[in-house]
Structure 1
Amino acid sequence: MHWNQLLSRGRLGSDQLNAGTTARTDFQRDFDRIVFSSAFRRMQDKTQVFPLSRVDYIRTRLTHSLEASSIGRSLGTQVGEQVIARRGLEGYEASDFGDICAAACLAHDIGNPPFGHSGEDAFRSWAEEAAYGRRRVEVLQDSEREDFTRFEGNAQGFRILTRLQNPDNLGGLQLTCATLAAFTKYPRESCLGGGRYPGVSAKKHGFFAEDRSVFEAVAQQVGLIKRDGTRAVWCRHPLAFLVEAADDISYRVIDIEDGFRLGYFTFNEVMDLYLNIIREPDKQRLRMQSISDSKGKVEFLRAKVINEAITQAMDCFLDNEELILAGLFDEPLLNQFPKRAEMDRLIEVAMDRIYQATEVVEIQAAGFQVIGDLLERFIQVLDDIAEQGEQASAKSRMISRLIPEQFIGSNRAPSPNIYTRLLRLTDFVAGMTDSYAVSLYKKLTGISLPNA
């Protein structure tokens, strides 16, 4: 792969070129388009770790994405400065690398359904175990089937950026192909036909079967390496490794801070976890003496840990740049951190003390019920209308009015194709906020009624 092609400013679905010099670069425009999208705003009410938290300090998907984006910009810019100097790239600035990473990080969780990663599990469980949903999904084949049985928020995010947001536009938000490729951490379809590919980039899928041709266009534009002659699987865009690292750094370090604010960790526990990662810990202890409260000290050290992790990620990327460009490097950058054990310790204690906390698990369990029930009820309604037309039950016709036309079909006529029908339904439910999903579930089940 070659940087001049990897940094393509070509926009998906648009042949229009920017007229002259403007105050914003193409990649900054990507960032702005994501910020002003409705899908991005909805992340303010989507779970990061603590579902439906009543504590306004705790991060949501929105604040996590903003923080990851900030880390991605710093990391990308520092890498870009070195790559440009090494390669003698002309026509690009170090900030272009940073802006691509910032935009991709900003959108990296935009496809996550309600209730975080447990929400993804709820979609998979419904497709494999629900009485009606399983019967509908099991008639599908290959990637069309595994799109649901292995439902993936990353693939949903690609769909939002390229199709669902601004649906009247070919290419959706019409982002640059460089940003879309850097966004796609898992550049493969859901079913590989029994083939097994090593490496982190093949661990999950990054686009649905319906969107395969869309990603093919992106991959061709930026020159990604195809890993198979018949299946849709490519090597990662190099900057996707930086996007992954920014996300990993963000949630590992900051989830500990949130856990401290909610009382899951003592101040001394957090100090030990953070000080083991940064350089010159004794020097930082002295600097903390001027900070009066424990909250401020934790925030100070959190910033130091992030800065240290950015430096280590940059070094790992640059050390492996040739292998990455050749498609021969395929593991998270954090795996090669000098402080890998200490960074892994953050996720280990978070898993034990935060992610499995009773209040978290209780709401996630309820989320399984909410998502599964919404999918089960709505697919029966859509099937009834698709198969019976005007003879569909009055109940089905009434409940279908709760689904926007975008997620049914033109003139509110469900597609005769089962895959398309299921995909549009999952678009609808996955796009819900936590609060809206709960509210709609309560109304459908009669637990609560709308206010008069």
Structure 2
Amino acid sequence: MAATIPPRAVYAEDPARSHGRKVAEPESATRTPFARDRDRIIHCSAFRRLKEKTQVFVAHEGDHFRTRLTHSLEVAQIARSLATALGLDADLAETIALAHDLGHPPFGHAGEDELQVQMAGFGGYDHNVQTFRVDTKLERRYPRFEGLNLTWETMEGVINHNCPVVDNLEKPSWSAIAEFDADYGLRLDTWASAEAQVAALADDIAYNNHDVDDGVQAALFGLDELRVVPLIGPHVDSASRDYPGCDAGILRLEAVRRMIGAMVDDVLAETRRRAAATGVAGPEDVRRLDHALVAFSRDMAEDLSALRGFLMERMYRHWRVNRTRSQARRMLAEMFQLFLAEPDVLPAEWYARAEGRDEAGRARLVCDYIAGMTDRFAIEEHRKLFHLDSLN
């Protein structure tokens, strides 16, 4: 039996009523504004570089582990499915999902932690703000403007998808967003659209499931150890009962598949319950709520918290992961300090941008250069800078 596509929800964003772009452009004859945003993200260089940026494992550690690119694609798939089932604009949800990690530096959270240290005296670093900088400044593809000139709804969702962030505007690291918001009015004191909230929940669903999958593949823990962990444990048990004697690799994938399904079903049920309880009748009603519309149930949130605790102890703080984190942070620190002290060793186009800047301006430029690196490029760049036999 074919799936039934739900009617458009009354609180869905309408691309025909978009607030538009900061720089006005003629509309596309074949795509909605949100679909056009999605295509701009897919074609930008920052999106391509995600293919060799760390999720948990560094790119060279194996071809089967997730990268930022595969993670973003998984988030986008889940976001589109959730949005379609809820009658929301699937293009907008998918677009925000594809864009949400564009600002991540090499080496995952280790890279972010080190750039925060290095930029402490120069305005700070935040990967969400870096994503905004990619979208509005660092991508250079068009003759009339810097960045991608995305729609208001996409920019709102990229910046504000988790919760209202107006309090962050006081942070030095958020100064670029504060300036943009003052000029463009992104309404960061409210919740974002339901589509943006869908993207945020899809991120949670994707990374928790694929980190379980990657953790087992990396032998950081085994399937049997997961049986006592809330959320994933029951699905390992049910898959084992349904397919006795099944290959362990297939069993792992089946358990993860079931966990994704359970989390998706929970979001759909809870969101529909909240929509009925609050009586939201349009997109603005979603923004005016004092809580998220798209959410996990309380029971699912508790189980998810327990799973995250297990992953934190057994995966994110595993000694093998810690060694990589330590190496990555030292490499980025050494490169940052060298580039800041000797900007003439930057590539020519970056050195040209550094000329005439004060120290804080040079630090931001160095940060932009490093944040845009892939894992592999950062390793090679460090080798060239600190080992004479690697010069070319």
TM-score exceeds 0.5: yes
1:160 pairs with 2:167: no
Counterparts of residues 399-410 of structure 1 (less than 5 Å): 399=345, 402-405=346-349, 407-409=350-352
SS of equivalent to 1:257: helix
Does 2:351 correspond to 1:342? no
Query: What is the Cα deviation at residue 107 of structure 1?
Result: 1.6
Following TM superposition, by how much is the alpha carbon of 1:314 offset from its aligned partner in structure 2, in angstroms? 2.6
Correspondence for 1:357 among 318, 327, 330:
318
SS in 2 for 1:339: helix
Q: Counterpart of 1:259 in 2: which secondary structure?
A: helix
Aligned with 1:170 (options 130, 145, 150) = 145
Equivalent residues of 1:61, 1:109 under 8 A apart: yes
| 1:282-321 matches, cutoff 5 A | 282=238, 284-289=239-244, 292-321=246-275
State the shift of 1:208 in Å.
3.6
Q: State the AA in 1 paired with 2:105.
A: P
Letter in 2 for 1:325: R
Matches within 5 A, 1:40-439: 40-79=47-86, 81=87, 94=88, 97-128=89-120, 134=121, 137=122, 145=123, 148=124, 151-166=125-140, 168-170=143-145, 172-184=147-159, 185=161, 187-188=165-166, 190=168, 192=170, 208-216=174-182, 219-220=185-186, 224=187, 227=189, 235-271=191-227, 273=229, 276=233, 282=238, 284-289=239-244, 292-321=246-275, 322=278, 324-329=286-291, 333-334=295-296, 336-382=297-343, 397=344, 399=345, 402-405=346-349, 407-409=350-352, 412=353, 414-439=355-380
The partner residue of 1:25 within 17, 32, 36 is 32
CA contact (8 A) 1:113 1:432 kept: yes
Is residue 27–residue 103 contact of structure 1 (8 Å, CA) maintained in 2? yes
- In 2, are the aligned partners of 1:259 and 1:265 still within 8 Å (CA)? yes
Question: How do 1:2-13 and structure 2 match up within 5 A?
Answer: 8-13=17-22
Partner of 1:387: none
Identity of aligned residues (%): 25
Alpha-carbon separation, structure 2, partners of 1:42 and 1:349? 30
> Which range is displaced more, 170-179 or 112-121?
170-179
Say whether 1:449 aligns with 2:390.
Answer: yes
Question: In structure 1, what residue type is equivalent to 2:347?
Answer: I
**Contact 2:54–2:108, Cα closer than 8 Å, also in 1:** yes
- What is the aligned residue count? 370
Q: 2:15–2:32: 8 Å Cα contact kept in structure 1? A: no
Instruction: Answer whether contact 1:260 1:270 (CA < 8 A) is retained.
Output: no
Please say if residues 6 and 237 of structure 1, whose CA atoms lie closer than 8 Å, have aligned partners that are also in contact: no
Taking structure 2 as the reference length, the TM-score comes to: 0.83
* Distance verdict in 2 for CA 1:438–1:376, change over 3 Å: same
**Deviation digits for residues 91-130 of structure 1 (CA, Å, limit 9, x no counterpart):** xxx4xx22211111112111011111111110122234xx
Match of 2:6 in 1: none
- Give me the CA root mean square deviation: 3.1
Alpha-carbon distance in structure 2 between the residues aligned to 1:51 and 1:432: 13
TM-score by length of 1: 0.73
Deviation at 1:305, TM superposition (A): 1.1
d(CA) in 2 for partners of 1:12, 1:354: 42
The answer as to whether partners of 2:59 and 2:67 remain within 8 angstroms in 1 is no
**Which structure 1 residue ranges, 5 or more long, are not aligned?**
82-93, 129-133, 138-144, 194-204, 228-233, 383-396
Contact kept? 2:38, 2:98, Cα under 8 Å:
yes
Q: CA deviation at 1:11?
A: 4.3
Q: Which residue of 2 aligns with 1:201?
A: none
Q: CA 1:4/1:444 → structure 2, altered by over 3 Å: closer, same or farther? A: closer
> Gaps spanning 5+ residues in structure 2: where?
1-10, 279-284
